Every structure is written in C-alpha cells, then in structure tokens.
Structure 1
Amino acid sequence: MTEVEPSSPHYRDDIVADAPRPISRRGRLLSWVAGIAVLALVVLGAVWLAQSSSNSGGNGRGPGGGGRRGGGQPTTVGTVKAVRADLPIQVEALGTVTPAATVTIRPQVSGTITQVLYREGQLVRKGETLAIIDPRPYQAALLQAQGALIRDRAQLANARVQLGRYQTLLGQDSIARQDVDTQAATAKQLEGTIAIDRGQVQQAQINLGFTRVVSPVTGRVGLRVVDIGNYIGAGDANGIAVVTTLQPIDVAFAVPQDQAPAIGKRIAQGAEIPAVALDRTRTQTLDQGRFSTLDNQVDTATGTIKGKARFANASGQLYPSQFVNVRLTVDTISQAVTIPPAAVRSGQDASFVWLLKPDKTVTQRTIKTGIASADKVQVVSGLNVGDIVITDGGDRLSEGAKVALPGDKPAAGAGGGRRRRNRG
C-alpha cells in the first residue's frame, strides 16, 4: 500500500471526496413541509373513514331516513279520525263565593237578655227565635195603653149620649145651638183621642213582640256576640248574632268584555246558562248551578264585566269568601267536525294538519279552526268526517313521507339486513 504524503497534491482531494456534504437551509424547510402534509392527509383520511362507517351502519336517519322520501325506516306516528261531536262554548273565570244574604240581627228594643236560644254555628230557619229580652216593662206599657183606650172609649160614649140629648132639646127650641155644636166638637175630639190610644196599643204590642229576637232569614249563625244577663240597647251596632245564608249561595266573578255580548244574547233569548263551580285545580266539581245576571257596566280599569251565578249548595261545599273557578256553558255547537288539539299545527300563513293517505304517506292540508275546548278543536273547513290526521310524530314529517302505524309489523328486508350485519 502506498502512503500519500500530506504534502502530496492528491491528499486534499481524497479527503473532500470521502466526507458527507452538509444539508442546506432550503432542504430542511422542504422536509418539514412534506412531513406536515403527510400528517394532514392521515388525519383527513381517518375522519372520512369514521363518517363513512357511521353512515353505513347507523340508525338509518341519514339522507333517506326519519320518514323522509328515499331509503330507511318510516316514522311511526299516532293517528285519529275526524268525527262529529257536540262542542260546548265555555267561559271560565275566577270567582268568589258570596252569600245570598248576610244579616246582623240588631234588637229593636232595649233591655236585659234573659235567654239565648241558639248555638254557635247552628243552622236556623226564618222566624226562629234566637234570644229573648226581658218583656215585663213592655207588658206593663201595653196594659197602660189598653187602659187609656178603654177610658177614652167610655168618655166618647158619654159625649155621644149627651150630644143626642142636646139635639133633642134643640128641636124643641129649649137650648142654644152653640151648646149643641160644642158637644159635637167634644165627641169628635174624643174620637181622635181613641185613635191615638189604638196606635199606642199597637206600638206597645209591637215592642212586646220585639222582645223575642227572631232570625229574618234561613242560614248559619256565627259566633256568639252577647250572653245572658247583658243589657243591650235598641239598634246596637254589634247586634245579637250574624246569620249568613248558605243555601242557596252566589259566586261573583268577572268575564272579559269581549265575551259579554254572547252571554247577553243568550239571556235575551231566555235561555238558561249552566254554571259549574270547580276547585282551584279545576279537577273537582264543587256544585252545579245556573248563571244569574251581568252587571250594568264594564270596569274600565280591567276591561271586564262582573257577573253572578247561583248554586243550591246542597252539599255545603261552597263557603263564603271562598275562591273557586266558574265554568259557564254559553252555547253548544251541534255536530261539529272535531279533532284533538295535538293534530293542529301552526304554519306561516294558517293552521294545517298532516293527512294520512291510503298508501300510508302524508300530505299537508290547510284547515280553518273555530271553537276550541280542552280536548276538541272545531274544524270549520279543510277536513271531512272520517279523514285520518297525525297527532304524534308530526314534527318529523315532510310532504309525501312514508309513515308506519303502531300496529304495523316491521319490514322483512329491514330485519334481515340487521341480522346480516350482526352476523358480520
């Protein structure tokens, strides 16, 4: 082997030929760009594969699923037929139970109470005695008035006899006419005195009757106000008792002024408007009655008009000042075409329903609605009796979509496809 001297002219060229060449800055930049591009392609490919797998093996709600036109399973919906039914026109309002009469029984004469004949909360009848005031002073006054009447009647009889004698003497020209006229005036004066005495006797009898305090109405007595031995004056503010009429009883309420003409029209026709009193949850019927009357003016502050309904309250479920809900059946539309409220949907211009066709596809039908209740809606136009409309699942439908009913069997092809995919 021949050694090459360092001083030889070939020494530097051999070293340069065997050593690796350094990478430039431009080459490094290109390498980074290529690596990033490859990584982006890998990520995009993974995303595309994931989407493809979900669309091919998902729940069928892709471009052709969800009951839309194309492939996939039809949407299961609930249906109902349009039928004819009597639809009541009802008005509901919040009312307050008001007794037909509330009477504070005040005595008409003064005296000491000797008997109290009622219990607190007792039901009393009209004319029933509630308390007795000491009657002895008024019995004495009656005797005095009767005695004065008897005395004055005797004086009148004597004056009339004397007048007859004077008239006889005047016919014989034995007495002056002035004496006759004076005696006639005395008889007339005594007749007036007797009239006064009769009035005093009647007043004494009335006062004696007032010593028995009676109820002027039928109702329930409140809490006791006075006791035996108390002295009470005539017209005392607190009275002896308070009686409230509970049977019948009224309910006062307010209705919007827009509904007043319909109620007034029925009243003018002489029709009876049924009324129902419900509890605050509108689930329990407390009593049934009839509408009584409307007020004669509208409340400008609320835009309502007051009304009143009367109830027999035989079961006693209505109590004064109780809050109840009143439902008036103003009128009834006979044999109206009706559907459930769930079938009616709101569009941009009008209401519509999804109409089920014989081939189990749906089409949109515009309708015009009328009176609505809790479970029925009147269809004025757009539907006929027997038409089948969609009630449940209508929010997932489109024009011409295929639907399935709850009782339908699933398609065989769809089940086989599932089994094949499960085996795979």
Structure 2
Amino acid sequence: MLPTPPPSPTLNGFCAPEDRLGQVLAGRLQLTGILGVGAYGVVYTAVDIQTNIPYAVKALNKLGLEPRQRKFQQREIQLHHQASAHPNVVSLVKIMDAPDCTYVVIEYCPEGDLFSNITERGKYIGNDALAKRAFLQILDAVEYCHSIGIYHRDLKPENILVTDQGMTVKLADFGLATADHITSDFGCGSTFYMSPECQTPAPKPYSCYASAPNDVWSLGVILVNLTCGRNPWKRASLDDSTFRAYMKDPKFLRSILPLSPELDSILKRIFEVNPARRISIPELRELILRCPSFTSTKAAVSTPPPSPPFCPAEYAFNGCYQQVPVPSVAPLPAPAYPAPTFELPFTQHSISSGSSDSDNDSVFSSSSSVSSASSTSSFTHVTLPPTHKAPPRGVQQTYVSPLPVSNTWFQPFIQAANLVKHVSFQPPMMAAPVRVY
C-alpha cells in the first residue's frame, strides 16, 4: 500500500516549461503549447507532424525525485493504462522515457474539462437530458475502474474532460488512484468531494475505510454540480454548518437547491454517512435512468439567489431555477470494451537516435521504433501490462466495508447536526480548480 502522495519534488536542474515548446519527440510529435503546470510536471498540447492529429503530453519530471515519488508516478501511469480500455476514460496512447522526464501521451480533448463547461459555458444546467447522458458515462467509467480493482479517489469535474459538444465525457487524472480495496489515506482528494469517512481517521481499530463508497460519494457531489451548478457544502465534516444542517434534516438540500423530489431521493442514498449502506453504482444507474427530471421550478428555496457580486453569471442557476426544455437524448448503449493492445509486462525497447518511423500512419504504434529528431536525448518506449476486460453489465460489484453496519462511528455526525441553529443557508459556488499534475 502506498501512502498519501509525498511532497512536491525539488526541481534541481528542471528546465522551464516553455523551454520544451517546439521540441519534436520521437521524430514526429511536436510540443505546441502549455495546458497546465503542476508540482510534478507540465501538460502540453502536441501534434503529430505527419498526420496532424492533436494529442496532450504529460511531461512528468524525473529530476530530484525520491524513490517513493517515482513509485507514485509509475502507479499513476500503470493504473491509467489499465483503465483507459474503457471508452469513457481518456486514452493513454504511449509512454516515452527520457533522461529528464517521462512523456505520457494521452488523448486530447479540446473542449476542456467538465468544470469549465458547467461554470463558464452553462452547458448542463437546466438541460436534464444532457446532464443525464454525461453522468451515466461517468458512472460507466467509474464502475469499470472498480470492476478491475482501481479506485480513483479524486473524482471531480476538473478531472473529467469533455468532447463532442458536451455529449461525451471522459475520466482523467489517475494521480491519486489506488488499487487498494481498503485504504488509510485520509484526506486524499479534494475537500468538496471527499466522503465523511475520508476526512479524518475514525477511532481505533477502524482507522481505514473502503475506497469504492468514497468514490460513490464524490459522484453525488458531481451530480449536484451537473444539475445545479453548485456544491452542496464546502466539506462533508462536522465543521461545516451546511453539512450539519443536512445531517439534521434530510430534506435540507431541497431548501437551498432546485432539486426535483426524485433527485433529492437519489442524493439521500448517495450521501449516506455510513459507507456500508451507501448506494452501489449499478443501483445508482437504474435510479438515474428512471429519474424523470433533475430540477424543479417549485423547489422550496429558503434564500433568494445571491446577487451578482457574490454569484457571477457563470455560477448562477438558469433563470432563477427555471428549467429549459430540451430534446430527449437516448441513454448510452452498453459500451463494447476494446481488446487489450499491450501484451508484454513492462518490457522496454531501445530507441535509435536520428531515425524516424515513416512507415506507420501514426507515431504511436506500440511496436514501432522511433526517435527524437530535435534532441540528442534518447527515448525508451515502455510497454505496459495488459488491460482487463470489464465484467458483463448487470454483474453486481460488491465491496466489504471495514466498518460493520451496526458500528456507531458516524453517530457524532448525527449528534452534531442536532446543534444546528435555524439560520439561512445558501449553497457554495463550485470551487475553482486546483491543478495538480
């Protein structure tokens, strides 16, 4: 079990992100722009100079890393590769290992992440059909990850990319993912999306929690984001007055958000404090499919919509909770998972310098030998282990909670909720993204 990610590396000798712009990797892939910069590296836009196909390239720094930090990089790459067999997970196309960094070539989604599509473009709020389509795709991706023993632990709109004019979404960023069914990595992820059991260790001997239901809780917050453009609370903790109010009154969310009765009922199943009783993903999918509407114009809202200085237009509800009619979108069919494309377990192929691979239509053939035409650095192409096939749809995926159902570790949440005074609440805006690469 790997613990919570180590601190950021010391970047001794690390070149500036813009220094790599224009560089051609493997003789064909040219870095053209910078998408983001984080503690562990840089994400670039890139283009295949022979096919003009765009890609994104994650340059993970190797200089100054401790062995533990290297293991986290390797784990992210390996788990992402296994998960990318699903069509709603961003494809990991190729890995190239250079002396100073590891280049991870991934699918490029030019429409950005789900966060910007919700807050800046207002693409899903008021559009129940589109929101349902997107959320079902997210459910499929997460269920597939769980079926092969991968738990994301950082599900949030910033880690979901959008394509096809919002019709298709893809799960990304496996930097905090784990293969541990039970984990003791408390505080792992983003506070807005963490489950209560993930916040702080429970009293001994229950100093661990199940990874799967923690992901389910995060899915519930994303569902509120998609439908209302808000977060239900800042933190699912006793320190958060909004969350305590919800613990005291299960109907509380309908008083601050324009939720339909059906969606409110679904959220109660997701936001079950006891992880052993929390809804499973297959059951959640069925409820979402049957949900006639996500929002309601008759929702009892205790406070008026905030004024513009406190609620920019991109965060505001559409027309003060008025639902915009849209054409129906049919649910997605069961995805056909591609066969594994890599067969050898972490074998390495040496790359000769100064040659190019002009025989292939794409630079990313798993068996090709290519090189860098603009640098004297040699690249090693890393072949990952095989991916796993998903189980047939409808097969129940189960998990064992580290806490017995009868255990009362979560009772302090209930007790603290009784101390909440009757005050006016308003839902917090969606948190600005914090990019960590």
Above 0.5 in TM-score? Answer: no
TM-score, length-normalised on structure 2? 0.21
Highest RCO, 1 vs 2 (Cα 8 Å, sep ≥ 6): 1
Which structure shows the bigger proportion of residues in helix conformation? 1
TM-score by length of structure 1 reads 0.22
